Structure formats: structure tokens, C-alpha cells
Amino acid sequence: MKKKIIAIVAGGDSSEHDVSMRSAEGISSWLDRSKYEVYTIEVRGLEWNARLEDGSLSPVNRHDFTFEAMRSSIYSMQKTIKPDFVYITIHGTPGENGILQGYFDLLQIPYSSCNLLVAALTFDKFTLNQYLKGFGVKIAESILLRKSQAITAEEVISKVGLPCFIKPNGSGSSFGVTRCKTTADILPAIESARMESPDVMIESEIVGTEIANGVFRKADGEVHVLPITEVASENEFFDYDAKYNGQVTEITPARLTDDTTARVKALTKAIYTILGGEGIMRVDYIISHKQAEDGSQQDIINLLEINATPGMTATSFIPQQARADGLEMSAILDEVINQKLGNN
């Protein structure tokens, strides 16, 4: 059977460029070379280059997403490569916000992630939360501050209180996120967030246990929810150092009751289904606690955000959850690819 040509598209134009390249390394290492011919495409602005086996770079023709590669070292023959499938692992623009999804739709090249609409929706944190709120999903009180809008610190406090989180509305890896504890923190935090995204989301703090739950669609269409990871950060919140520099304890499966575990996984599956999810996604929550009338503690599931192109580095959640589920990442990637390509 002829090998399928897989292009892993990574990099991008945000602060998450380098994290994305590390995700590409992880994905490349898991793809079965007996089934796939694999290339990594690094995107930076209008510079798109395929990384070839000999370490050289081959410019990508963006008109048809092709590039030239040496196919025979003996005769020094070059051949035009056109990928059969694209694995999008850009965290940030243009891979997480729907731009590349629309591009590949136009070229009729299947890709790993959800479609343009869902990608754009999940990238816009405020809009996504308000949309899912209509389905009964619990979210924190929040304010959306557009690029042209101004707000006083006093207005922020009156609407969401303190402490609060100020974050870019369209970004990830916790770049530009600040936990504000005082009035003086607020306006500098807004400026910091605007370094990453013109629109800023201001959100009340929910105290509780942070968790992450991966999910993917198998080749037969079944939605498979992975085990839950509990996040215990050494820092004030799950920031960049906690995510990528080891300043966190990640426990998989999470230390939740059986009932709460079942409810979280059911909610993850429902959200994925509501959105028409494709490929691997990750849903992040905060579990807060409420005292019931009988004195027992009730766990409340609050949505934080959804990652439609989650990290796939060595320290990322999805590989951890796959191991806890007894699954190999190579098998999960096969499911994602075959769901789009079929089993041919």
C-alpha cells in the first residue's frame, strides 16, 4: 500500500511559535513511518518551508501547497510533493483561529482539526463561553474589552471583583495572562494582554481544582473521551512556567469522585458533539465546591476554555492521558487521520 504523505504544519505568527514547533516534533515522532511519509512545514508570516530529511528547507508553493523534495539520492531526482493530509499544530494564528482551515478547505486537502467556524469560535474565548452558556455550561463572570474600548479599574472590580484574571481573548500557553489582586494591577495587565491580542477578556476568579480533559473522534465516528488530568501548579495559576518548565504537578487520572469524573467526561463529550468537533481537542475546567443542605460537598464543573489544537509536546496533557488510557499516540493519530481519509 502506498504511503500517505503527511504534512505537519507548525510555527505560526504568535508567541507560541516555538511551543508549536515542539508539538510538531512530538507528532512526527509518533507517526508510523511504515504507513506515512512525514514532512514538517514551518510557517512564519509568508515564509512557509518544508523541512527535508537532509536538513534543508524547501519553499512551499502556497497556491497549491506543494514543495520540491529529493526522492532519489542516487540520481539526484526531485519530485513535487503534494500532501494527502495536514496535521495542524499551530498554537495561535493562523492555525488555531480558522485561517488555515479555510485555506485547506479551498484546496480540498483534509486536515486534523475542526473546521473554520469551530476553530474561530474556540479561539475567541469570550464568544465561545457565551455560546456554550446557552447550553447550560457554567462559566465565570467576564467582560470582553475590544481594541477600541477603554475601562477603568473601578469598573472592572464592580463587574467581576478581585482577584480576577486578565488575558488575551485570542491566545494560548498563558502568554499575556495576569492574575490581578489589587486595583493597581488591572490597567498594566490589560496592556500586557493587548501585546498578544487586540481584544482582552477579564474574568472573575473561580477557586477550585483545575483539570484538563482530552477527547478525539475515532475513524468510525465514535467520540472517545480520555482520562482527566488534575493540575496542581506551584505558581498562582497554570502559567507558562507551570505548563512547560515543570513548575506543576499533573495527576492522571485526576483525584475526583467517580460521580464527578463521570459528569466531567459526559460534559466533555457533549461539548465536543455540540461543536461538531474533529481531531483531538482538550477541554479545561475548574471544579469548585458548594455546600449542600445536608452538609455534603457538591462539585461544580466550570468551563475555562477549549483548545482545538492542543499542545503535543513531551510535557503536554494529551500524551499523558493516552498513556493512562492504555493507548499509544501513534494509534490515536491513525484514528484521526483515517477518520478524514478513510481506511484506504
- Residues 108-119: tens digit of each pLDDT: 999 999 999 999
Express as a percent the part of the chain with pLDDT over 90: 81
Coil, strand, or helix at residue 284?
strand
Which residue is listed with cell 495536514? Answer: 86
Do residues 63 and 52 make contact, with C-beta atoms less than 8 angstroms apart? no
Residue range 321-333: average pLDDT?
A: 97
Q: What does residue 333 show for φ and ψ, rounded to 5 degrees? A: -65, -35
Torsion from C-alpha of 60, 65, 66, 67, nearest 10 degrees = 20
What pTM, to 2 d.p., does this model score?
0.89
Q: What's the confidence (pLDDT) of residue 58? A: 96
pLDDT at 320: 96
